[in-house]
C-alpha cells in the first residue's frame, strides 16, 4: 500500500514538473465564439475560401494600442465570414518567435522593420515571405475599388515593400508617419528666430543659439538617424543618388553628394548638445528628448509619435510642438521629409495564404482605415490627410507645404558578421559628437562595409 502511494506521488511530481515546461500562453483572443473550427481543408485555391477558415493574425501593439486590431478583425469577419484569431503584444517577437522556430506560423504578421530584434529583416533575408503582388490587383472586400487604387502613390515602389528590387511586393505598407526635425515652436517665436530652410541658415541659427547657451541639435538615439540620413541623401542628390547609395553602388561614397551628406552630419555633430551620446541608449533616450522640451536643444529628428510619447513630460513655458522637413542643401533646393511606415506580411510557411491575402486587402477598406484612424494610426491611402485633426493635421500636411516625401531604405543583404547598417552608418555619430572618431574614419568604415554589403546583396 505504502509503495503504491509513493509511486503515485512520484508520478504526480513528474507530471507537475513536466507541466512547467509547457508553452506560456500569450494574449490570444479569438474573435470567433465557436470553440474549435474544423479547418481541415488547407489553402483553398479559389479567391473565396470556405467559411470555416480561421486565420491567425499577429500584430505588434504600439502606441496606437491593440483595440483597433480587434475591431478591424471583427469587421473583417463580419464582411467575409473568415474567422480571425488575433494575437497582439508589445514584444510580439517573443510571443510568436518561438512557435515560428518550431514551424507554426501566423497567417498575417504586422511587424515593421527597424526593430531591435529585427524579426522582419530576418524573414526578408531568409526569403521566407509570400509574394503579395497579386493583392494589389485584388478588390477590397466589401468595396468596388482595387487595392492599388486605394494605396497612395509611391508606397508600393520602395525597397521597404519590394525588398529584392525585382518589382514584386512582399510587404504591405501600413500606418505611415512623416519624420522630420521636431522643435519648440514657442521658443523660436519668443526669440524671433525663423525655421531654417537651408543648412547655411541652420548653422547661422546654431551660432545665434550657442550665444544664448542653447545647443542647435540633439537626437534620442543613433537609431533615429536612419530617417534623417535617408532624407539627407535625397536632398543632397535626389532620388537617383538615393537609389544608387542604398544599393551600395561602387564608388558612391566618393561622390560629391555623399561628401555633402557626411560633411553636414559631421558639422551637425559639433552643434549637438554634448551630453547627448551619454544618454543615447534605450534606457535614457527620453532625457535627450527632454532637452528639446527644456529649451536646451532646438531640433531633434523624430516622428509624429513623439507628441504622445512625451505627453506627460514637464516642459518650458509656452512650449508648442513644431515640425519641419530637413533643410535644403542649397538655397532653392528641395527639402525632404522621410515617410516612415510599418509593414504587414505573410510568412511563406502560413497555412491559409488566400484568406490572409484577403485580410491584407481589407486593411485598406474605408471601414478599416476609419477604425485605425480612431486610434491615431493613419493608413497610407489617398485623401486620408483631409480627415485629420489637431497636431496630426499639422504634421501630416508637411508634404502639402512644399516638402517632398522620401521613402525607401538600405537594400537587404545576407547577414555579415559584425556588419549592420546601424552600427556602420549611424552609431559612429555618437563618437563624432564626443570627438573620438574623425569624419574620415567614419567614411572609411562605411566604404569598407559597403563593399561587403554589395557583395552580399540579396538578389
Binding residues for another protein, per CB under 8 A?
Answer: 3, 6-7, 10-11, 13-14, 17-18, 21, 97, 100-101, 103, 116-119, 121-123, 125-128, 221-222, 274-275, 277-284, 287, 415, 417-418, 420, 423, 427-431, 434, 436-437
User: Which letter does DSSP use for residue 81 in this model?
Assistant: -
**What are residue 54's DSSP bridge partners?**
83
Q: How far is the CB of 145 from another protein (least distance, A)?
A: 35
Cβ closer to another protein: 31 or 159? 159
3-state secondary structure of 149: helix
Cβ closer to another protein: 280 or 368? 280
Q: Report the interhelical angle of 439-455 vs 256-270 (nearest 10°).
A: 130
Q: How far is the CB of 429 from another protein (least distance, A)?
A: 8
Q: How far is the CB of 48 from another protein (least distance, A)?
A: 31
Other CB atoms within 10 Å distance of the CB of residue 75: 20
Q: How far is the CB of 413 from another protein (least distance, A)?
A: 10
Cβ closer to another protein: 34 or 286? 286
Report d(CA 352, CA 170) in Å as an integer.
16
Q: How far is the CB of 357 from another protein (least distance, A)?
A: 21
Cβ closer to another protein: 50 or 278? 278
Q: Dihedral, CA atoms, 240, 246, 249, 253, nearest 10 degrees? A: 90
Cβ closer to another protein: 83 or 110? 110
Cβ closer to another protein: 356 or 406? 356
- Residue 257 and residue 237 in contact, taking contact as beta carbons nearer than 8 Å: yes
Q: Which of 136, 133, 49, 122 is nearest to 84 (CA)?
A: 49
User: CB burial class (10 A; 0-12, 13-18, 19+) of residue 140?
Assistant: buried
Q: Cell numbers at residue 330, please? A: 542649397
Pairing of strands 404-406, 172-184: unpaired
Q: How far is the CB of 118 from another protein (least distance, A)?
A: 5
Cβ closer to another protein: 40 or 101? 101
Q: Which of 452, 413, 368 is nearest to 57 (CA)?
A: 368
Cβ closer to another protein: 9 or 382? 9
User: Which letter does DSSP use for residue 455 in this model?
Assistant: H
Report d(CA 196, CA 101) in Å as an integer.
50
Q: How far is the CB of 29 from another protein (least distance, A)?
A: 24
Q: How far is the CB of 157 from another protein (least distance, A)?
A: 25
Q: How far is the CB of 101 from another protein (least distance, A)?
A: 6
Cβ closer to another protein: 194 or 436? 436
The DSSP H or E segment spanning 285 is helix 285-293
Other CB atoms within 10 Å distance of the CB of residue 70: 17
3-state secondary structure of 401: coil
Q: Which of 122, 58, 123 is nearest to 84 (CA)?
A: 58
Amino acid at each position: 500500500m505504502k509503495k503504491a502511494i509513493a509511486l503515485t506521488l512520484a508520478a504526480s511530481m513528474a507530471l507537475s514538473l513536466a507541466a512547467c515546461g509547457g508553452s506560456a500562453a500569450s494574449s490570444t483572443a479569438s474573435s470567433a465564439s465557436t470553440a474549435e473550427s474544423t479547418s481541415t481543408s488547407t489553402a483553398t485555391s479559389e479567391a473565396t475560401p470556405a467559411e470555416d477558415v480561421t486565420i491567425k493574425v499577429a500584430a505588434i501593439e504600439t502606441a496606437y494600442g491593440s483595440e483597433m486590431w480587434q475591431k478591424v478583425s471583427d469587421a473583417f469577419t463580419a464582411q467575409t465570414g473568415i474567422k480571425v484569431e488575433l494575437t497582439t503584444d508589445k514584444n510580439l517577437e517573443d510571443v510568436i518567435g518561438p512557435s515560428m522556430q518550431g514551424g507554426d506560423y501566423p497567417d498575417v504578421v504586422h511587424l515593421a522593420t527597424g526593430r531591435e530584434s529585427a524579426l522582419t529583416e530576418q524573414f526578408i533575408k531568409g526569403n521566407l515571405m509570400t509574394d503579395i503582388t497579386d493583392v494589389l490587383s485584388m478588390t477590397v472586400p466589401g468595396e468596388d475599388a482595387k487595392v492599388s487604387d486605394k494605396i497612395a502613390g509611391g508606397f508600393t515602389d520602395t525597397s521597404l515593400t519590394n525588398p529584392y528590387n525585382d518589382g514584386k511586393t512582399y510587404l504591405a505598407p501600413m500606418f505611415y508617419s512623416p519624420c522630420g526635425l521636431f522643435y519648440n515652436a514657442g521658443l523660436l517665436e519668443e526669440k524671433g528666430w525663423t525655421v531654417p530652410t537651408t543648412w547655411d541658415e541652420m548653422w547661422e541659427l546654431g551660432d545665434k543659439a550657442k550665444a544664448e547657451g542653447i545647443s542647435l541639435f540633439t537626437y534620442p538615439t543613433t537609431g533615429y538617424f536612419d530617417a534623417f540620413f535617408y532624407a539627407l541623401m535625397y536632398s543632397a542628390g535626389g532620388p537617383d543618388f538615393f537609389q544608387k547609395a542604398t544599393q551600395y553602388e561602387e564608388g558612391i561614397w566618393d561622390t560629391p553628394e555623399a561628401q555633402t551628406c557626411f560633411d553636414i552630419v559631421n558639422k551637425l555633430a559639433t552643434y549637438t548638445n554634448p551630453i547627448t551620446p551619454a544618454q543615447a541608449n534605450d534606457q535614457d533616450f527620453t532625457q535627450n528628448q527632454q532637452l528639446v522640451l527644456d529649451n536646451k536643444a532646438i531640433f531633434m529628428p523624430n516622428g509624429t509619435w513623439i507628441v504622445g510619447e512625451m505627453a506627460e513630460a514637464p516642459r518650458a513655458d509656452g512650449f508648442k510642438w513644431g515640425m519641419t522637413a530637413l533643410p535644403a542643401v542649397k538655397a532653392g533646393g528641395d527639402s525632404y521629409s522621410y515617410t516612415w511606415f510599418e509593414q504587414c506580411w505573410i510568412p511563406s510557411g502560413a497555412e491559409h495564404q488566400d484568406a490572409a491575402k484577403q485580410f491584407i486587402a481589407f486593411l485598406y477598406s474605408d471601414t478599416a482605415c476609419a477604425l485605425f484612424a480612431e486610434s491615431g494610426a493613419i493608413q497610407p491611402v489617398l485623401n486620408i490627410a483631409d480627415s485629420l485633426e489637431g497636431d496630426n493635421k499639422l504634421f501630416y500636411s508637411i508634404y502639402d507645404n512644399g516638402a517632398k516625401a522620401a521613402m525607401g531604405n538600405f537594400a537587404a543583404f545576407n547577414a555579415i558578421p559584425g556588419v549592420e547598417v546601424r552600427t556602420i552608418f549611424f552609431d559612429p555619430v555618437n563618437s563624432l559628437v564626443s570627438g573620438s572618431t574623425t569624419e574620415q574614419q567614419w567614411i572609411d568604415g562605411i566604404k569598407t562595409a559597403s563593399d561587403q554589403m554589395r557583395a552580399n546583396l540579396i538578389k
